Structures are given as C-alpha cells and as structure tokens.
Chain A
C-alpha cells in the first residue's frame, strides 16, 4: 500500500515556484533517498509534506488521507495536524531548542502525540540509536557540537509515533566519519510498516543504505536514479 502519494504537486514561496509538478509514490516499509544539488528543491519537497511552504498546489495523500490540497497562504497552519497525523521532520539547520536540555529537546518530539506518556521508553530507544547522547541528557543543547546537535534533531523526530520520517541533509556540515555513522544509524532503524525519506547531497553516502534513490533537479523529480547506481559501493565518500 502507498503510504504517501503525491499527484502533480507544485509549491513555492510567494512568486517563486520551487517544485514543478511532482508525482511520487512511497510504499510502506520503504526507505527512500532523495539526492540533488543544493537549491534544487529537496528541502522544499520535505517542507511541503508538512505544510511549511508558502503555497502549494496538487494533491498529497498520506495513508489515503488528503493532507495537502490547493493552498495559497497559511504557512504552517496545517502542520500541527500533519505532525500529529504521523509525519516527523528533522529539518535542515536542526532547529533544536538551544536553551532546553538535550532531554527536553528529545521529549519535545513527543509533545503532541499519545507518545508523551511513554516518552521515557522512547528516549531510551533513541539513545540506543545515538549512544553519545546518553551522557549529554542534562546539558543545554546550545552548547553541543554540530554532530551532537544533528543527533538531537534527528532523535527528536524519532521520538514521535510517526509513520513517515523525513530527514533533511543528515551530513550537512559534518565530518565524513560522523555523517557516515549518522546515516548508518538511520538505515539500521526498524521503520516497520512506516517509511523514511532521506534528502542528501552526498550520493555515495546513501548508496546501499536505502531501498531506492530519487534524483531531484531544478524542482523536478528524476525517478529511479538508484538503478543506475546499484553498483556504487557504500562508502563515506567525499562531498562533490
């Protein structure tokens, strides 16, 4: 069953159209890589799924329910509903809460769902994925290193009870070794009948760690880049 179905989706900010007529279907249990250069619409595609672009056109169906639809303003007005419905985003730039402790930052990922009561078990599960955070729980998130902040941001998304996880540029600004361990951690998480989309500039980092790779160029999707790249060896690679 398709967990996510986009039909001729366009989106942008004010007069700027960033996404052009996107059609996409993602099945339950799938882990999808979204590659493309900076400024070609990867982040906008993830943002539009949670209603954070300026405007949007076309249909976005999540588990059969329309969460998009034509919209010319009201940025973020549907976001709480969509997040509660089961889509979690780890946005570019992390957007963590600098004055809150690491523990509160993680717990915030469970604010609005029924998962608030089970936040302790959820936190333990996130700490299994990112063990370095265990020692930092009491520390203010504003004092963390770049890699630790990224773990907090991704960990916060994992705290929710979501069906679709969106991770924007996990490697951005991090040393190759740290990005590699982050993406490996992401590929090892059990998503069950959910799905995950990882947007990433560094293609070799994703190869072999996701089920399918989609390319993005100038706001349009190029489907199935993955087949052409099937034999790229999984390695940390460098930024190109």
Chain B
C-alpha cells in the first residue's frame, strides 16, 4: 500500500507540474495550450543534449544533475516562448482567439512531433540518473532515490513558484490578469509581456516534469503526448485557473492511476482517468477549483 501511495505522489507531482502550466496559461491569456506536449519534449531533448555534451566534457556528479535539470527547464521555457510567438502574440487581439490559438497550438504539436523525429530519430534516448541509485526502506516498503528526489524537487520548485506568484510584483500582475483581464488592463498590465512571462514559466515547470519523468521513461519524439493528455485531464478536473483545485485534482488522478496500475492493469488507466474527469465535470462543471477559492468571475 505504501508503495502505491508513493507512486501516486510521484505521478501527482509530475502531472501536476504540467497541469499547472496548462491551467496558468488558460487562466491568464485564455489559451488552451495543446502544444504543452511539444514543450515537454523540447525540455527532454534539451536535457539530453546537455547530458551528451557533459559526457564529452567529463562533467559528472552534482554539476551534471543540476545542469540536466536547468537545461530541461530552459529548453521548455524557450519552447514556451516559441509557442507564444506563433500562437499568442499575432492572434491574441483578434476575434475568436480561443479557437484560433487552439488550432495554432494543435498544429505546433503535430508538426513538432515530426520535427523531433527528423532531428533526433525515432529511438528512445535515456537521461543520466539525477539522484543516483539506491533506496530508502520504510517499514516493509521502500522508496528509490529517484522517486524521493523527484518528489522533493517537484514540490520545492512548485512551492517556490507559488510563493513568488503570491509575493512578487510580476506574480501579482499575473494573478491580476487571471482574475480580471479588464482590471489588469486598467492598472497597466501588458497582456503581451505578462502573457509571454506566463508561457515561459509554464514551460519551465513542464520542462522540469519532463526531466524528472525521463528518470523512469525515455525521451522520444512522442514522449509529450501522455503528459499532455493527463495534464489536460487534471487541469480540467481542477477547474482551469485554480492552483488549489489543480493540486487536489493532481493528487486524485495520481492516486487513481497508481491504484489502477497496481490492482487492475496499466492499460485501463486512460479509461479510469477519463471516467473520473467526466464524473467531476458532470457534477461540478467548473471543476474542483470553485470549491476551494474565489476563481475568475
């Protein structure tokens, strides 16, 4: 049972990072970013390139680990800015921005997969282990260094971002834009500048998830598809735009996936996850978020 809980927590923290990126982006600029999977993969390949370079330059130990993490986050942040330059900046003050940006991000996602395929080939690429090998025993169960490190780093970075959002001036501007775009405009918040900041931060969180997930799986041209799907499910179930709602939904979905994989079958996971989100949206159309805080009016 403890192993299921640990596995649930690890999944929840990884998917939660992706989902919060999707949720932030939707709430602040009204764009459902279907290119989040492309951004995810970009981080994985950036980390892979750094690891290759580091191997040639004989970098190892903590420098390698931190370098891989930072490279992944930077790579995804840049990919986020790239998506913004194509799907947000030219379109955001035109009619039907939501539909147009949906199509634009979907296109980036589809073309992006082919682009990675051309550039890196179809084979899976491993990343070096960041947290070393070994495990900590808890009673009869154990938790590997990889799982423990993933949990700690994910929670630390997420916590830091939330504190920064709540206390800094740039963070207040983002939250203002999420709660009331007109109010943000009249106090002089620039939609374009703040929107690009949101895309960069959402990208960096996704890149972190990408590097951490690559500790278990590999980096491949399609490695962003599953995180995008689950990230969308969580952000919808959490009520797009609500941080507490997203965190709660990530916990729920992570637990559901871990339980299904353990007691049923891995292949049932998508059915169970989509079933849960359908149930939540049937009874609470605005997701879990409205239960937990004042969301956008």
Q: Which residues of A contact B187 (CB under 8 A)?
A: 83, 108-109, 111-112, 156, 160
A113 CB–B CB distance under 8 Å: yes
| Residue interface bits B279-297, CB-to-A below 8 A is 1, else 0 | 0000000000000011111
Q: Which residues of B contact A113 (CB under 8 A)?
A: 188
Which residues from 158 to 193 on chain B have a C-beta closer than 8 Å to any C-beta of chain A? 169, 172-173, 175-176, 179-180, 182-183, 185-193
Among candidates B185, B293, B294, residue contacting A76 with C-beta atoms closer than 8 Å: B185
**Distance, CA A76 to CA B296, complexed state (A):** 20
B58 CB–A CB distance under 8 Å: no
Given contacts A52-B185, A95-B182, A97-B179, contact A111 B169 (CB under 8 A): yes
**Distance, CA A100 to CA B182, complexed state (A):** 15
Q: B93 to A91, Cβ gap below 8 A?
A: no
Residue tally, chain A, CB below 8 Å to B: 37
Q: B188 to A142, Cβ gap below 8 A?
A: no
Given contacts A98-B179, A100-B179, contact A77 B188 (CB under 8 A): no
Q: A98 to B188, Cβ gap below 8 A?
A: no
Q: B185 to A79, Cβ gap below 8 A?
A: yes
A182 CB–B CB distance under 8 Å: no
Among candidates B182, B186, B297, residue contacting A88 with C-beta atoms closer than 8 Å: B186
Q: Which residues of B contact A160 (CB under 8 A)?
A: 187-188
Tell me the minimal C-beta distance from A34 to chain B in angstroms: 17
Q: B190 to A80, Cβ gap below 8 A?
A: yes
Among candidates A75, A83, A116, A142, residue contacting B186 with C-beta atoms closer than 8 Å: A83
**Distance, CA A89 to CA B187, complexed state (A):** 8
Which residues from 42 to 63 on chain A have a C-beta closer than 8 Å to any C-beta of chain B? 50, 52
**Distance, CA A107 to CA B168, complexed state (A):** 12
Tell me the minimal C-beta distance from B149 to chain A in angstroms: 33
Among candidates B93, B95, B189, residue contacting A77 with C-beta atoms closer than 8 Å: B93
**Distance, CA A98 to CA B191, complexed state (A):** 19
Q: A75 to B188, Cβ gap below 8 A?
A: no
Q: B294 to A140, Cβ gap below 8 A?
A: yes
Q: B294 to A142, Cβ gap below 8 A?
A: yes
Given contacts A91-B182, A96-B180, contact A111 B295 (CB under 8 A): no
Q: B297 to A98, Cβ gap below 8 A?
A: yes
Q: B186 to A100, Cβ gap below 8 A?
A: no
**Distance, CA A73 to CA B78, complexed state (A):** 28
Among candidates A14, A90, A99, A157, residue contacting B179 with C-beta atoms closer than 8 Å: A99
In this complex, the member of A95, A98, A104 whose beta carbon has the largest number of chain B beta carbons within 10 angstroms is A95
Q: Which residues of B contact A96 (CB under 8 A)?
A: 180, 183
In this complex, the member of A77, A79, A97 whose beta carbon has the largest number of chain B beta carbons within 10 angstroms is A97
A84 CB–B CB distance under 8 Å: yes
Q: A116 to B188, Cβ gap below 8 A?
A: no
Q: B191 to A76, Cβ gap below 8 A?
A: yes
Tell me the minimal C-beta distance from A148 to chain B in angstroms: 15
Q: A100 to B169, Cβ gap below 8 A?
A: no
Q: Which residues of B contact A94 (CB under 8 A)?
A: 183
Which residues from 245 to 297 on chain B have a C-beta closer than 8 Å to any C-beta of chain A? 293-297
Q: A100 to B185, Cβ gap below 8 A?
A: no
Q: B188 to A97, Cβ gap below 8 A?
A: no
Report which B residues bind A (CB closer than 8 A).
93-95, 169, 172-173, 175-176, 179-180, 182-183, 185-193, 293-297
* A–B Cβ pairs within 8 angstroms, 11 of them: A52-B185, A76-B185, A83-B188, A93-B182, A95-B180, A97-B175, A99-B175, A99-B294, A111-B169, A111-B187, A112-B188
| 5 additional A-B residue pairs with CB within 8 Å, beyond A50-B186, A108-B172 | A97-B175, A99-B294, A108-B183, A112-B188, A157-B186
Report which A residues bind B (CB closer than 8 A).
14, 50, 52, 73-77, 79-80, 83-84, 88-91, 93-100, 104, 107-109, 111-113, 116, 140, 142, 156-157, 160
7 nearest A-B pairs in the assembled complex, by CB-CB distance:
A83-B188, A95-B183, A112-B188, A142-B294, A80-B190, A95-B182, A97-B179
